[in-house]
């Protein structure tokens, strides 16, 4: 019998998918629930499992875009792994009976099937993208073992197995999944099957060059971490040419950077050889172009930024701050602060405290629009923009208004480290009421930051530059910073936005008021 394999429903708003890659070739024998392909949507990548055991016949090639419900392959369920027809069923059955006792001693199916769904990841997160499967369909997995990576528009997260058993993949890499959607199933087992160790040995023999330090190859071997993939893509380096040193042979950011340097050295040698052989075409000026596929994360970010511009009445107001009082205070006490608390005294704690105090006085800046209602927050959950290899993320400092300087600095450092390591949870990036972004660390003089929806305002910090200013009728050189407040004019009026920014300026230019709360 020939079984048609169709693209299932992968989300309410998803109407088509792209065949990212086939993990099995046309004519291969596949087991039920074994991962045979990866499919992509505009939000995620998902694995596609075989619905039955048999010979695979591919109908749609890699890179093609098909609608939900389309047939992408067929499986001849009458065919057997060794090529025999269904007439050999009796021999197979006898062999199975002879070995059943041995298998049951190694691992036994309980009959229970554990369904794994996309869990609640945060208040504003409604969908995620399945980035990478670290296990193949049909693999034996253990409880809490990482089997996949999922992405939101803010971060990448590991997906642990919820039971011991055989993995049956329901969603493919690149698929966009709504909260609650089915990702995979696990046929629960008591004990590991003998085939689990046999499979590892066969893989190790088949690809000795990709073995890890432990001698066993896994699905992660040769796969790139999100940060590494970005670096390799930017430099045009094929991951196949890079040897991974991470867990199970995974390609890490350090591996990608090392490969990047190697590629630069080789390019330099080629250029030198070309120059020695004579003048190159057009004097060595390159006219080459290259195209790179936009990541699902970047697509999501792009859509949301355009949405904010189109759906809000965004406006920006500016002011400037004399940073000398803050800088003098830091210079005087930073060593004692570091010695006592173990963290440095940075500018972000001053700005966060100043914003929290100003938000209490101007609550509309800390509010959000929900349909025909305005939600006012009696707390300040401040989102801090952090630059990472994958892009900008905004982890949240909860109840920042109740924290002291040490608490704010410690929390910002903790979140920044997790962000750069790609280990932030959805909860740590969801639910902020106001955002602060510091473009000054990159040398920005002035900008108009875009609101982090559904929030209504964002404060932009910029570079500190010594400029001549008038102080009490005298011209003095002071360290000045431009600050910008972008806000949604639908909820925040000009009086409130300007007054908020002036209040922040006053508090920063007289930091003693921050300590006293006046």
Distance in angstroms (rounded) separating the CA atoms of residues 305 and 280: 43
Contact 264, 232 (CB under 8 A): no
Alpha helices in 59-151 (DSSP H): 89-106
Distance in angstroms (rounded) separating the CA atoms of residues 438 and 350: 13
DSSP state of 172: B
Contact 440, 481 (CB under 8 A): yes
Parallel, antiparallel, or unpaired: how do β-strands 434-438 and 396-397 relate?
unpaired
Q: How many CB atoms lie within 10 A of CB 423?
A: 13
Distance in angstroms (rounded) separating the CA atoms of residues 29 and 56: 6
DSSP state of 241: G
- 493 noted as active-site residue: yes
Distance in angstroms (rounded) separating the CA atoms of residues 337 and 375: 37
Three-state secondary structure call for residue 494:
helix
Q: What is the DSSP string of 366-389?
A: G-EEETTEEEPPSS--EEE-EEET
Distance in angstroms (rounded) separating the CA atoms of residues 283 and 281: 5
Phi first, then psi: give them for residue 403, nearest 5 degrees. -95, 155
For 26: left if phi > 0, alpha if psi spans -120 to 50, otherwise beta; the answer is beta
For 191: left if phi > 0, alpha if psi spans -120 to 50, otherwise beta; the answer is left
Of 26, 198, 335, 493, the active-site residue reads 493
Of 26, 322, 489, 510, the active-site residue reads 489
- 489 noted as active-site residue: yes
DSSP state of 57: E
Q: How many CB atoms lie within 10 A of CB 77?
A: 16
**Per this entry, what is the length of the chain?**
518
CA-nearest of 131, 28, 9, 114 to 68 is 9
Crossing angle of helices 347-361 and 405-420, in 10° steps, is 110
CA-nearest of 290, 409, 428, 423 to 344 is 409
Active site residues: 489, 493
């Amino acid at each position: 019998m020939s079984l048609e394999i169709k693209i299932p429903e992968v989300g309410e708003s998803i109407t088509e998918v792209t065949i990212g890659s086939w993990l099995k070739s046309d004519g291969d024998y596949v087991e039920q629930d074994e991962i045979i392909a990866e499919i992509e949507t505009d939000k995620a990548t998902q694995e596609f499992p075989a619905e039955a055991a048999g010979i695979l016949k591919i109908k749609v090639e890699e890179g093609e875009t098909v609608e939900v419900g389309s047939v992408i392959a067929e499986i001849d369920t009458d065919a057997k792994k060794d090529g025999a027809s269904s007439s050999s069923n009796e021999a197979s059955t006898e062999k199975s009976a002879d070995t059943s006792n041995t298998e049951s001693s190694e691992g036994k199916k309980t009959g229970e099937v554990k369904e794994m769904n996309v869990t609640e990841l945060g208040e504003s997160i409604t969908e995620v993208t399945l980035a990478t499967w670290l296990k193949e369909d049909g693999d034996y997995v253990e409880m809490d073992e990482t089997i996949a990576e999922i992405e939101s528009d803010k971060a990448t997260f590991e997906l642990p197995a919820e039971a011991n058993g055989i993995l049956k993949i329901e969603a493919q890499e690149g698929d966009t999944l709504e909260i609650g959607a089915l990702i995979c199933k696990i046929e629960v087992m008591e004990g590991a099957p003998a085939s689990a160790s046999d499979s590892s040995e066969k893989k190790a023999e088949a690809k000795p060059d990709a073995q890890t330090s432990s001698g066993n190859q896994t699905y992660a071997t040769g796969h790139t971490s999100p940060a590494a993939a970005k670096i390799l893509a930017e430099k045009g380096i094929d991951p196949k040419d890079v040897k991974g040193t991470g867990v199970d042979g995974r390609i890490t950011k350090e591996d990608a950077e090392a490969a990047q340097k190697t590629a630069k050295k080789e390019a330099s040698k080629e250029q030198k050889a070309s120059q020695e052989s004579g003048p190159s075409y057009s004097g060595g000026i390159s006219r080459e172009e290259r195209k790179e596929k936009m990541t699902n994360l970047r697509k999501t970010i792009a859509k949301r930024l355009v949405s904010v511009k189109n759906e809000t009445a965004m406006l920006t107001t500016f002011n400037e701050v004399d940073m000398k009082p803050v800088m003098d205070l830091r210079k005087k006490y930073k060593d004692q602060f570091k010695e006592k608390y173990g963290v440095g005294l940075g500018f972000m704690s001053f700005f966060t405290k100043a914003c929290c105090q100003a938000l209490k006085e101007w609550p509309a800046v800390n509010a959000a629009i929900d349909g025909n209602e305005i939600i006012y927050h009696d707390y300040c959950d401040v989102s801090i923009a952090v630059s990472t290899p994958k892009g900008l993320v905004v982890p949240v400092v909860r109840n920042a208004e109740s924290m002291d300087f040490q608490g704010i600095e410690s929390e910002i450092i903790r979140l920044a480290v997790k962000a750069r390591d790609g280990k932030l949870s959805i909860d740590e990036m969801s639910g902020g009421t106001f955002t602060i972004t510091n473009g000054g660390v990159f040398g920005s003089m002035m900008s108009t930051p875009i609101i982090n929806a559904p929030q209504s305002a964002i404060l932009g910090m910029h570079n500190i530059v010594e400029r001549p200013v008038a102080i009490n009728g005298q011209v003095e050189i002071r360290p000045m910073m431009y600050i910008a407040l972008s806000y949604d004019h639908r909820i925040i009026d000009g009086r409130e936005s300007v007054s908020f920014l002036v209040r922040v300026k006053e508090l920063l230019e007289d930091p003693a008021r921050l300590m006293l709360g006046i």
